[in-house]
Amino acid sequence: MNTTTATQTITLKKSSGGAELAPGYFARRNRWDWLFAAFVLAGAVLAFLRYGGAMDIYEKWILAGTVPSMVALGWFWRPLQKLAAVVAAFALLAIWLYQAPGGGADLARGDQVFLLKYFISSQSAILWMSVLFFMSTAFYWLGMFTRAGDALEALGSRLAWVAVGLALIGSLVRWYESHQIGPGIGHIPVSNLYEVFVLFCWMTAAFYLYYEQQYGTRRMGAFAMLIVSAAVGFLLWYTVVREAHEIQPLVPALQSWWMKLHVPANFIGYGTFAIAAMLAFAYLIKQSAGETRWYKLAPLWVLGVVLCFEPLVFRQGATDKGGVYWFIYFGVSAFIVGGILSVRGRIAERLPSFEVLDDVMYKAIAVGFAFFTIATVLGALWAAEAWGGYWSWDPKETWALIVWLNYAAWLHMRLMKGLRGTVAAWWALVGLAITTFAFIGVNMFLSGLHSYGTL
């Protein structure tokens, strides 16, 4: 009765009929879970054997820590297992296609091999990601207004999954490509504004897809994916005007293993804060469904100002080829805002309940705050190594502290004072504005130790 094994434990679980025996954590793993764990371990061993000589001790520890982290994530949310397998398969295929017949990698094959040129070279995969995120957002919105809404939203969800996969494939292949350009150029693709916007897009979408599955509703997708499409819009502008997709050597300040930890943790925070803000916006739209007084529709006007006047922020686009792009962006943004305003009643009917929107908003901010805290601590350690001090009140550091304090106060009011509803939603929207300025605005308008990240 009391025997146990290494792979199975027995715990007591309370139910209405009393206590019943339930399998423990490892006993709930199925064969696919264990196969996934073996797959991740094999991949790490292969990486150690092939590239271990090029890694320093910190990178080896990061790779070792990635194994249990990936396995735990795959066990926690099983769709990640299929995603990881598909991404690994296509990334390895791209690396294989880059190999020249005589041996060694040849980046020129990226313009010669059909699959690389049109699908799975880094830039091709990221461009496909961009298209599919736009399409996903469109199908989520179409689902709001048609009888086939559920089918269209399901299609939007599937396209979002494919886009996330292509973003990961593109990032991994870009990592490989950077190492083939020349000695000292190779780096993890989280080092400039182009690369981190790709990171933001797929991380934000992935977190939304998790909440979509957990709550069993796709009706938040139209709003959550809107912020992803806005990020893709910036990414495309940045690619066309700045040619930012070109791989460049890292500046000395970024040649640190701390970057591999600090930046992803930061962008988990940014992504989940963005989801919370868009669901807060959806909450306010649902609340104002029957409202006719213009001053009560403030959320829509705020969104309109942010979207429609964003081109004025990137004022250099008025004098170069980016001007036409931002003119089109202005028109699309105005159309979106006007459309939401005119059919807000229909949108409100399709949205989940206030309780669901509020709960997802809270959980997204809680996750984001945890990772943003980790990122801030890692950033301080990185600063101590690079500049000799943990904190220097650099504009980027100061605004990161403002972001942290804002969400700390939000969570405190939620947990201690029961913050809910309209005030919580407005606060989450303001939080996104603060976060956006900390992320982009500081780089554009302020200078300091982080000036290497300017536009």
Residue 294: predicted pLDDT:
60
Distance CA 73, CA 27 (A): 17
Contact 4, 10 (CB under 8 A): yes
Contact 256, 382 (CB under 8 A): yes
How many residues does the structure list for the chain?
A: 455
Residue 315 vs residue 234, higher pLDDT: 234
Residue 333 vs residue 195, higher pLDDT: 195
Distance CA 70, CA 67 (A): 5
Is it the case that residue 14 has pLDDT exceeding 50?
A: no
219: Cβ contacts below 8 Å, ≥ 6 apart: 143, 144, 153, 350, 351, 352
Name the most confidently modeled range: 2-16, 159-173, 190-204. 159-173
Mean pLDDT within 136-163: 94
Least confident of 61-70, 317-326, 352-361: 317-326
Name the most confidently modeled range: 286-295, 316-325, 370-379. 370-379
pLDDT per residue as tens digits for the range 411-441: 999 999 999 988 999 999 899 989 988 888 7
**Range 89-93 contact pairs with CB under 8 angstroms and sequence separation of 24 or more:** 90/120, 90/165, 90/169, 91/120, 91/168, 91/169, 91/172, 91/173, 91/176, 93/120
Least confident of 171-180, 223-232, 236-245, 259-268: 236-245
Residue 308: predicted pLDDT:
53
Residue 237: predicted pLDDT:
83
Contact 288, 272 (CB under 8 A): no
Residue 52: predicted pLDDT:
83
The pTM assigned to this predicted structure is 0.89
Nearest of 14, 12, 33 to residue 23 by alpha carbon: 12
Stated as kind and residue range, the H or E segment containing 439 is none
Q: Which two tokens stand for residue 407?
A: 């969400």
* DSSP-derived 3-state class of residue 21: strand
Mean pLDDT within 106-131: 95
pLDDT per residue as tens digits for the range 121-137: 999 999 999 999 999 99
Mean pLDDT within 204-215: 97
The angle subtended at Cα 259 by Cα 70 and Cα 60, nearest 5°, is 55
Residue 131: predicted pLDDT:
97
Distance CA 139, CA 153 (A): 6
Distance CA 453, CA 438 (A): 12
Q: Which two tokens stand for residue 253?
A: 């300040």
Q: In this structure, what DSSP letter does residue 104 have?
A: S
Q: What is the DSSP string of 382-405?
A: HHHHHHS-S----HHHHHHHHHHH
Residue 15: predicted pLDDT:
44
Distance from chain centroid for Cα 295: 34
Mean pLDDT of the chain: 85
Residue 188 vs residue 12, higher pLDDT: 188
Contact 271, 439 (CB under 8 A): no
Report residue 154's pLDDT band, with 50, 70 and 90 as the boundaries.
Answer: very high
